[in-house]
Structure 1
């Protein structure tokens, strides 16, 4: 028997539950479908659990440095990985439980647990139930990419998801992937006490960033004893007794990295391959991402795609913004669109990298006349006082319009500091709006006006 609703939401990641609350609040009869744990990647295997682990790793790192601050720990610092995992599990499970309670508590909302598949443009089957609705919202997220790497089918490996089950300390962790996920896990486990090798196919880490940022992050990681192997462009894997050996290139006398455990952190793919999208006529691109317009509408009227599965952003905050755009257009007569947002994200190594807008390379390619300001964190009083003065600040300004084009803040609280620049960018105000502001001392943010007062033409 067909169950009829005014809206069906598939998936409970960052966008789905919030949209369910808005639609329910508007009096609609809705259905929410979830095949696994409520809350999606962020709550269960992404932001919340990994940043909880990062916090434990930071505590261990700071404890080992205690003598620098005049604090004696009384002996070697050790890490109890079972307690680390238990803390992570408690925080993650609480968040997932809160999302489930929120969704189930919505008025006029029926929750179906199971895998959803389209049977037509406006019908979805979940087990024995057939759900029909004029509006269907897809919020199915993504999963770790397992690359076509020779020998990989003969060795054990972890992804960012399965690493959440680890309650022991790997003796030597090999991380394949020198971008955000790989670097965060690499530094984290080095601080827990593992030997760590990071393997990257390209000539530098986090290739989407400017070269100075990539090099500074590499320097930070190598200073902590992490082995970074670049230009590893012919990867393979094999067993050697109890070890895993990763081949790094295919030349004579090829380089290899041997370790006890392997983590793959080479990207993600959308969870769209088993939704029956072809029966609904919903178009995807070559990588499986659902094609959407500026309002997150698919090519099929009445079907939207939100979050990681639409390829318009791979972050929790972009997914939530997707919900805001859909709700504004559908319920508020407020014509918001994807192109309104400014790129912003962070790399949560320590110190963190906060990034907004264009990189310097992108700004150069735009053909604009540029002003650039930089300041090392060694010239930021708060960073020096905290004993955390690694990194630098960089800001890029359009010389003609005086608008801020982008910024990279690699340093203590850089993931928070960068928002002062982002807000000025959203206000479409000149950089002088913040360069003339008076900030509180002693903070890291107080040096943002100083940074902007020392801009120089790019030569």
Structure 2
């Protein structure tokens, strides 16, 4: 077996692995990036970008259908099911191509194709042909779709987000399991593109929303477009000659069987760890089989091993994977000196319409950290000026602040332009701004962000810092 010694071995070349490679190379040129699958990040190939391409097509169709609101009439709207998917794949391939170009710029001696596994601490074997002795190791192997056993009965009609974009044409119908970010985004987009959709969940969750009033607002809105049961009682899934038959309990009709062309499993993702033989790595594992690590240095215990990206199941988002890869690669490169890095304010976005955001401290963490030491402000977008003008006046925003200090803690929202509002609020959290400081910032008229000002004013009053707002803000303009 071929033998090789390196300073840093990086297992996986997704977003985290690529960034770790570049960071490690600032300290040493004896680096090896090992890839067991296809080159091209999850985001570019099967995640962020192809899903947003599908969503963009859905938004175009929805805008055309809704143009009557403005006195604009679109006649004979049709959707070319093949053309939609052709553009998704073509643009997706362009994004993947840019990633492949970046990989091609790695020196050939720094790249190795094959599946790596531990045979001892600091020792890897790749495809039983090369043994690598690595002083430091970065694990950045990403994640894969988790498909519960009962859904596998769909057989060849089973899809996940790593296969759905290979469809040559939009299907006539699809049943979606999992109302998280992936399931909601794809299910809602497909519905707007004329696909018959039914979405099932368990436990009642909707897009990670913690607040019950916001969750109910989202549930009511989505149900206007397609059937959605977040606490479904599904009895059976089976493959038939017609497609996938799903038997479930309908609250009104009792037991019902409905057949769909495909089944999409959007039931979460799991870290890619099975092939690593971690039992031989010398690393301490938690009850999920994931190495314990420090999220500010990415180091696993006191070993020269670091984890970054989706594989650590901490914050599976691209910007977090980038930060983690940089931390892991830098610390692997500079070992034995370890430096802690700062982490960004929590920010998550679900690209439905309306969109869902969570920023900073929300949900159970508010009660755990602050008890009765926080207050809540809110605004409904039903009567918000700019939202009414553009016909997107649906949604609810809640903002949170700390009693005494007046510090802004976080927010949760289902509503228009939430992806942009989420960034503004995340910046405020990261800068540790007070609610009063945020209210001192400029708010143009008429913009959707005026709704944020209304919520912050409500919060400032709840914090006993500012006055209660009247029915209308005379300084803000009509409909603000």
TM over 0.5: yes
1:82 aligns with 82
Matched, 1:344 2:347: yes
Q: Distance in 1 between matches of 2:47 and 2:309?
A: 14
The 1:309–1:360 alpha-carbon spacing in structure 2 relative to 1, beyond 3 Å, is: closer
Q: Which residue of 1 aligns with 2:304?
A: 302
Q: Distance in 1 between matches of 2:417 and 2:151?
A: 41
Counterpart of 2:113 in structure 1 is: 113
Within-5 A mapping of 1:21-420 = 21-75=22-76, 77-106=77-106, 110-127=110-127, 128-149=129-150, 152=153, 156-206=157-207, 208-224=209-225, 226-248=226-248, 254-294=255-295, 295-299=297-301, 301-327=303-329, 329=331, 335-337=339-341, 340-366=343-369, 367-420=371-424
Q: Post-superposition shift, 1:400?
A: 2.1
Q: Which structure exhibits the higher relative contact order, with contacts defined as CA atoms closer than 8 Å and separated by 6 or more residues?
A: 2
How far off its partner does 1:9 sit? 1.1
Mapped contact 2:247–2:258 kept (Cα < 8 A): yes
Partner SS for 2:379: strand
Which structure 1 residue ranges, 5 or more long, are not aligned? none
Question: Is the alpha carbon distance of 1:108 and 1:368 closer, same or farther for their aligned partners in structure 2, counting shifts above 3 Å?
Answer: farther
Distance in 2, matches of 1:44 and 1:96, equals 6
CA shift for structure 1 position 247: 3.0
> SS of the residue aligned with 2:158?
coil
Q: What is the aligned counterpart of 2:453 among 441, 449, 453?
A: 449
C-alpha deviation, 1:329, in angstroms: 4.8
Measure, in 2, the Cα distance between the counterparts of 1:314 and 1:215.
Answer: 26
- Structure 1's 334 and 137: CA in aligned 2 closer, same or farther, altered over 3 A? closer
Deviates more, 1:89-98 or 1:261-270: 89-98
Q: Quick one: distance in 2 between partners of 1:278 and 1:151?
A: 29
Aligned-residue offset at 1:228: 1.3
**CA gap 1:32/1:417 in 2 versus in 1, 3 angstroms:** same
Residue 216 of structure 1, CA deviation: 1.6
SS at 1:290 equivalent: coil
Q: Structure 2: 5+ residue runs without aligned partners?
A: 464-480
Q: CA deviation at 1:175?
A: 0.7
Change (3 A) 1:107 1:263: closer
Q: Distance in 2 between matches of 1:382 and 1:428?
A: 28
Give TM-score, length-normalised by structure 1: 0.91
Change in CA separation of 1:112 and 1:329 when aligned onto 2, cut-off 3 Å = closer
Aligned length: 456
The one-character-per-residue Cα deviations of 1:401-434 (angstroms, maximum 9, x if unpaired) are 2112220132222012112221121122212121
Q: Once structures 1 and 2 are overlaid, which stretch shifts more, 245-254 or 209-218? A: 245-254
Contact 1:372/1:394 (8 A) holds in 2: yes
Look up the match of 2:470.
none
Distance change >3 Å, CA 10–CA 378, structure 1 → 2: same
Question: How much does 1:144 deviate?
Answer: 0.7
Quote the offset at 1:13 in angstroms. 1.5
Distance of 2:88 and 2:50 partners within structure 1: 5
Q: RMSD of the alignment, in Å? A: 2.7
Other-structure match for 2:9: 8
Structure 1 equivalent of residue 477 of structure 2: none
Counterparts of 1:450 and 1:362, CA distance in 2: 24
8 Å contact 1:104–1:110 — kept in the other structure? no
